[in-house]
Structure 1
Amino acid sequence: MKVLILGLGSIARKHIAALRRINPAIEVSALRSVSPSAKEEGIKNIYSLDEARSFAPDFIIIATPTYLHYENIETCLQLDIPLLIEKPIAHNLQIQSLVPEIRKRGIKTYIACNLRFLDSLKYVKGTFLNERYRINEVNVYCGSYLPSWRPGQDFRKSYSAQEKNGGGVHLDLIHELDYIYWFFGKPRQVLSMKKKNSSLDISAVDYANFILDYDSFAASVILNYFRKDAKRILEIVTNEGTVLVDLLNNQVYLDGKSVFKSEQKIIDTYEDQLLYFLGVIKGERKSFNEIEEALEILNICLQ
């Protein structure tokens, strides 16, 4: 197997590590923008599309900062091979202009929202989203501390902290909006409030509050960068009781009683989603979260 990757930051390294667990003999090349670039063990640097064609990858992973996604995708379309694009698809809706060309070329796409592969969320989707459970209210909360995300780095210099580089908690933590869309589909209406005046003192949005209006309930989604004691939960209030998902511990409760627990870690979902995408490429799996769906979710995020 051969994979071409754009970007070699922390997320790219998670993808590479997962690929090597799947296939230790995998060949990885990185399409670099600066020549020469520092060498990485087990990764070949290439600097042009001609070199990329000669490498003949099976698929491409785009894991660059969000603001570069448009030009990266536009460049990679010329290779006519499947694209795994790290979330979010982009930081604005300009990216939708590339969809007709992607479809014309028949390029398979997947926007990497790995929480769709978290056991606790899959359990909830398969167990509680049916006619027996009438949903009255949904609450989502994800708070974590941006300065601790990338140890050894000044968080203020990260793309997450900089609005001009596509940063912002609503984009970084689009996972929460993604799985709500995966569970319930497109909302009738979206209300939101975004702020960037916390003690972090960064230019990007560090607090976001969304209300998604569905036919019989509303979903509240709150995201922030400034909570030191990380908390990531989903609460679904139904006629049969309250479902609580502790995403950090991969556990599900019904009215306070544990009904599901998985030893899977969130890092394990990277391997699961790559196995899924390999199945899509081979025609063995039905695709989801292609570029059109990701654009629907991005549109919610940007409202």
Structure 2
Amino acid sequence: MKVLIVGLGSIASKHIAALRIIDPNVEFYAMRSSINADSKKGIINLFSFDDLNGLEIDFAIISNPTSVHKETVDRLIPKKIPLFIEKPLFSKLGYEEVLQEIQNNKITTYVACNLRFLDCLKFTKNYIQGKRINEVNIYCGSYLPDWRPGIDYKTTYSANKKLGGGVHIDLIHEIDYAYWLFGKPQKVNKVFSNKSSLNIDAYDYANYMLGYATFNANIILNYFRRDPKRTLEIVCDDQTLTINILKNTVYHNQEIVCMSEKTIIDTYEDQLRFFINEVLAKDNKFNTANEAYKILKICLEND
């Protein structure tokens, strides 16, 4: 298996580690932006998309800053390579023509939102089928300076609006799994701000209200909570389901009904196995670029 990496950062390293478990003989090629880029063991550096000519690449992982995803997709479409695109799909809307080009060229796409593979959320998706839901509350708060130890958080993609950062889109996982669990909302209201002591130009707080036919889903995201919290609460007619995503545990009226020892990092391998075995091998349409663009609209439309 030959895999191209565009954007050799921390997220790419997680995908690389997972792929080496799946296929110890995988060959990696990395598209680098500078001839002086460092070399990494087992990875062949490329410096031009023309260097792909003659290489039979099985798929490309796009994990560079979101602000250059559109440009990267444009460069790869003529190569007819399947695309595994790290979330979020783009940093802004207005790229419908790119989706049309993907379709015209019959490019297989998958946008990586690995929380769909977390055991507690997979359990929840099955558990709520047929149940009357009255209210949904989603919360994700953590401290941005702790995300990448040893790196000034103000220089990171997450903290910089021009790079496509901001909690409203950086934590699109919460919007994505809400869409996956409950479908497309009928109405969306939102509030974004950057009033905290982090002093970044990207949004560090987002509050969404997704309106469905019989319930509302409230989603709060922030970069400034020192004690991390990531939860989903589903209030039904006769019970309340509480999902602790950080502990991969589901509670039914405070009693544990699902517990998994797997962590979020384990989902990277599960996700790539699904991509290889189902999306590539069987053409399973799962979180394609078209679907991910609909989710991006929930995040950004009228922003």
Q: Kindly report which structure 2 residues correspond to 1:239-250, keeping only aligned pairs within 5 A, or say none.
A: 239-250=237-248
Q: Paired residue for 1:127?
A: 127
Equivalent residue letter for 1:71: E
Query: Please, which moves more after superposition, 16-25 or 29-38?
Result: 29-38
In the alignment, what sits opposite 2:268?
Answer: 270
Give the structure 2 partner of residue 108 of structure 1. 108
Q: Aligned residue for 1:198?
A: 196
TM-score between both structures, scaled by the size of structure 1: 0.97
Pairing partner for 2:249 from 248, 251, 256: 251
- Written as runs of structure 1 = structure 2, the 5 A alignment for 1:1-303 is 1-128=1-128, 130-131=129-130, 133-284=131-282, 286-303=284-301
How far residue 170 of structure 1 moved from its aligned partner, in angstroms, is 1.0
- CA positional deviation for 1:281: 4.5
- Residue ranges of structure 1 left out of the alignment (5+ in a row): none
Deviation >6 Å, runs of 4+: none
Q: For residues 189 and 65 of structure 1, what CA distance do their matches in structure 2 show?
A: 29
Report the count of equivalent residues: 301
Unaligned runs of 5+ in 2: none
CA contact (8 A) 1:4 1:52 kept: no
Deviations 1:106-161 (A, max 9, x none): 11000000000000000000112x22x21000000000010010111000000100
Q: Contact 1:279–1:285 at 8 Å: present in 2 too?
A: no
Conservation of the 8 A alpha-carbon contact between 1:147 and 1:154: yes
Q: Return the offset for 1:185.
A: 1.1
Query: After superposition, what is the alpha-carbon deviation per residue over 1:16-49, rounded to whole angstroms, capped at 9, x for unaligned?
Result: 1111111111100001121232111111101122
Aligned equivalents of 1:54 and 1:284: distance in 2?
A: 25
CA contact (8 A) 1:276 1:285 kept: no
Over aligned residues, Cα RMSD in angstroms? 1.0
1:65-98 Cα offsets, whole Å, 9 max, x none, are: 1101010110011110100000000110133220
8 Å CA contact retained: 2:188, 2:211: yes
> Percent same amino acid at aligned positions?
51
Shift of the 175–230 alpha-carbon distance from structure 1 to 2, 3 Å rule, reads same
In 1, the alpha carbon distance for the partners of 2:280 and 2:244 equals: 34
